Amino acid sequence: MNVRLSETPAPANSGGPETSHEAVSARLARLREAMAREGLAAYIVPSSDPHLSEYPPERWEGRRWLSGFTGSAGTLVVTADFAGLWADSRYWSQAEVQLAGSGIALMKILGVQQAQHVEWLTAHLTAGACVGVDGAVLALAAARTLSDALDARGMSLRTDLDLLDSVWSGRPALPRDAVFEHAMPYASVTRAEKLEAIRRTMREQGAQWHFVSTLDDLAWLANLRGADVNFNPVFVGHALIGLDSATLFIAAGKVPNDVANALLRDGFRIEDYERAPAALAALPEGSTLLVDPRRITYGARQAVPSTVKVVEAVNPSTFAKSRKTSGEAEHVRATMEQDGAALAEFFAWFEGALGRDTVTELMIDERLTAARARRPGFVCRSFATIAGFNANGAMPHYRAMEASHATVTGDGLLLIDSGGQYVGGTTDITRVVPIGQVSPEQKRDFTLVLKGMIALSRARFPRGIRSPMLDAIARAPIWEAGADYGHGTGHGVGYFLNVHEGPQVISHYAQAEPWTAMEAGMITSVEPGLYRPGRWGVRIENLVLAREAGETEFGAFLDFETLTLCPIDTRCIVLELMRVDERAWLNAYHETVRARVSAHVSGDAKAWLEARTQAI
């Protein structure tokens, strides 16, 4: 399959880094005028779309357009005399730079509480105030939290206003790229089989209908992929599944005739994207609808008639797509060999260029992407590459820009977090490499993070353990040294789908709900870190596959198979801090990397691979 997805950079009117503070001020002024016309005391702009996507299509990049802040998460609140951007610790350094002088205050989210903007609203507005938000892009759970808090203070909420339409001239339209099939041999389960599996769960829940709005669920269910969102091969749409029917709501012209015919044969009919709310409103009286309250917007929920019973549970597709089949796992293993070969080629070039050529953070992204693009099955990056030298590496979500990036020269640590979308899987890897002389403190931080990564990678644990509970295994060596990091340790990873997927998440910041249970077949990242703001950062990341690890009188157990195939730089290790068993794990890992990747490289890349996988 020869597929390439576009990765469209943010245009000048999208609120990218080039957005001037004067433009931000003018946009906020227009928003405030619209708020005044509607009698709103405050307006909330979340970082979401009608599908609750991590990376929304440009049409729904309203928070970015209004504020100039380009991070992937954050909530903007605007009143007549205040504007604040709530962001967690991953984005503080970035937001401080991008918001400076804009008139928008950075409001730091502390701890695990994600609704602190709601607390601010109830504390700063008076009884009778009306708060507005576009319900079409507001998560149902968030809407309930907001509504309850406002009601308790005698305030009201309006969700029928998309004020961006009135203030955003030239607002982008819906994306128009055609969808394509994710076909055999990569799609080992047919869409007809997936539909039947969904319907079995619907029957168990007593539901005659099920609404799917999140794009990764939709792409998995229909065995289709698209190019509507940067980095994630998904397309904008909805699906309404009945016990004997299934409708795909997608913009006209996006489904080629041959794909439309295949969909029809497998039980899907196609309707226009805009018809989804009307289809929900037309559900039969007395029927039962299954929805996931975490993966549906308030606007979609409001379209359901009161005469329809609603059952709330995790989307069946969320569970199903997280548990990769044996066939999918084999494709991922083959993809990891190709990705590892691309990384070997890149690092061979990089080490040869240091001290000889000028190497910038931007060049790292270009050369790494080019190396992956030469590999079979490559489609695009799976996220924007993070290449951060020294202080830039201390920002977990740093991104080098033309206007602001570092040259890799002198002494220190370079952190590179990158990944690729291949038709046979999705990759995500972080490595840290030494530049010049590395200090003892830098090596100590590196070794502590490595110990945490090894501890979780080799852990054995009960099947069905709630995944957030595994987080402490990776943090223990770092906590023991009196340090910590402000992000989760692991996220689920899709199969040629979103690089971040649920339901599993290895993070003590997340609630250990029953639906977060770790099961065999799940692919998850393991990525502890340690960051010294203004100095350097360390993060080491591999992807792992949960697999069965035997059964005892105490029940079934799982462990992890490490999937990622790239050396971990031993030049940064303090050997005295590594136990014998930890050294043995690393040596065995490097032996595996060398054995599986060497067949795909030659010349300088092979020599680099041999050198970097020597035993310690």
Of the three residues 270, 297, 321, the one that is the final residue of a domain is 321
What residues make up the domain containing 231? 180-321
Q: Phi first, then psi: give them for residue 434, nearest 5 degrees.
A: -80, 145
**pLDDT value at position 400?**
80
Of the three residues 284, 299, 321, the one that is the final residue of a domain is 321
**pLDDT value at position 97?**
85
Query: Is the CB of residue 525 less than 8 Å from the CB of residue 417?
Result: no
Are residues 586 and 470 located together in one domain of the fold? yes
Are residues 132 and 232 located together in one domain of the fold? no
Please choose, from the candidates 149, 109, 282, 141, the residue with its C-alpha nearest in 3D space to the C-alpha of residue 209. Answer: 282
Read off the tokens for 468.
């957030």
**pLDDT value at position 317?**
96
**pLDDT value at position 7?**
54
Q: What CA–CA distance (Å, rounded) separates 117 from 76?
A: 9
**pLDDT value at position 93?**
79
In a domain, 4, yes or no: no
Are residues 317 and 334 located together in one domain of the fold? no
Are residues 257 and 382 located together in one domain of the fold? no
**pLDDT value at position 587?**
98
**pLDDT value at position 112?**
56
CB within 8 Å of 115: residues ≥ 6 apart: 142, 145, 146, 149
State in Å, rounded, how far the first CA of the chain is from the last one: 41
Q: What's the domain count of the chain?
A: 3
In a domain, 6, yes or no: no
In a domain, 172, yes or no: no
Is pTM, for the whole model, over 0.75? yes
Eight-class DSSP state of 9:
P
CB within 8 Å of 550: residues ≥ 6 apart: 556, 557
Q: What CA–CA distance (Å, rounded) separates 313 from 573?
A: 46
How many Å separate Cα 386 from the centre of its chain? 14
Q: What CA–CA distance (Å, rounded) separates 107 from 116?
A: 9
Q: What CA–CA distance (Å, rounded) separates 330 from 28?
A: 51
Query: Is the CB of residue 171 less than 8 Å from the CB of residue 164?
Result: yes
Are residues 337 and 430 located together in one domain of the fold? yes
CB within 8 Å of 290: residues ≥ 6 apart: 201, 202, 205, 207, 209, 210, 211, 310, 311, 312, 313
**pLDDT value at position 5?**
57
Q: Domain holding 241: CATH number?
A: 3.40.350.10
CB within 8 Å of 503: residues ≥ 6 apart: 314, 318, 319, 322, 492, 515, 516, 517
Query: Is the CB of residue 147 less than 8 Å from the CB of residue 135?
Result: no
Of the three residues 303, 321, 339, the one that is the final residue of a domain is 321
Are residues 110 and 206 located together in one domain of the fold? no
Name residues of the chain where pLDDT drops below 70.
Answer: 1-19, 111-114
Are residues 299 and 443 located together in one domain of the fold? no
CB within 8 Å of 114: residues ≥ 6 apart: 88
3-class secondary-structure state, position 439: coil
Query: Is the CB of residue 291 less than 8 Å from the CB of residue 301?
Result: yes
3-class secondary-structure state, position 245: coil
Are residues 291 and 345 located together in one domain of the fold? no
Q: Domain holding 469: CATH number?
A: 3.90.230.10
In a domain, 267, yes or no: yes
Residue recorded with tokens 């009286």: 285
Q: What CA–CA distance (Å, rounded) separates 103 from 21?
A: 8
Written as one letter, the residue type at 289 is: L
Are residues 300 and 349 located together in one domain of the fold? no
Q: Phi first, then psi: give them for residue 364, nearest 5 degrees.
A: -60, -45
Q: Using CB atoms within 10 A of its CB, is residue 112 exposed (0-12), middle (13-18) or buried (19+)? A: exposed
Are residues 276 and 406 located together in one domain of the fold? no
Query: Is the CB of residue 449 less than 8 Å from the CB of residue 528?
Result: yes
Are residues 514 and 399 located together in one domain of the fold? yes
Eight-class DSSP state of 266:
T
Q: What CA–CA distance (Å, rounded) separates 487 from 507?
A: 8
Read off the tokens for 560.
């992890």
Are residues 361 and 303 located together in one domain of the fold? no
Q: DSSP letters of 154-221?
A: T-EEE-B--THHHH-TT------PPPEE--TTT--S-HHHHHHHHHHHHHHTT-SEEEE--HHHHHHH
- Helix, strand, coil percentages for the chain (3-state, nearest 5): 40, 20, 40
